Amino acid sequence: GAGVSQSPSNKVTEKGKDVELRCDPISGHTALYWYRQRLGQGLEFLIYFQGNSAPDKSGLPSDRFSAERTGESVSTLTIQRTQQEDSAVYLCASSEEGRGLAGGYEQYFGPGTRLTVT
């Protein structure tokens, strides 16, 4: 079946502009995660969705970052007034983890969106 897809694959934007990044998880996966990978760094957790709710937003770096999920499917990560330090690869992952169950589920990652802020 289809894996996790993300769009666009690359995005170049000017400082101060807003951007939207999209993630289509694997069908039926209730859990969805956003991570950020900056050059030379590991992946940083941004936000976790269970269904359409986000019980953990602790990784969002500032109030310029927001995310939503609808229909327990597609998710959009929005960055307002982009800054150069926002340049990174943004990765989305989904898993079968269900509400109330413990962790340890494999996360399936998309190919990422490379964001460059000029």
Partner 1 sequence: AQSVTQLGSHVSVSEGALVLLRCNYSSSVPPYLFWYVQYPNQGLQLLLKYTSAATLVKGINGFEAEFKKSETSFHLTKPSAHMRDAAEYFCAVSDRGYSTLTFGKGTMLLVSP
Contacts with partner 1 by CB under 8 A lie at 3-4, 31, 33, 35, 40-45, 48, 50, 55-56, 91, 93, 95, 97, 102-107, 109-112
CB of 29 to partner 1, least distance (A): 11
Produce one character per residue of 80-100: b if its CB has 16 or more CB atoms within 10 Å, e if not.
eebeeebbbbbbbbbbebeee
CB closer to partner 1 out of 8 and 16 = 8
Give strand pairing partners of 117. 13
37 Cβ partners below 8 Å, 6+ apart?
Answer: 43, 44, 88, 89, 90, 91, 112
CB closer to partner 1 out of 54 and 117 = 54
CB of 102 to partner 1, least distance (A): 5
CB closer to partner 1 out of 31 and 115 = 31
Amino acid at position 23, single letter: C
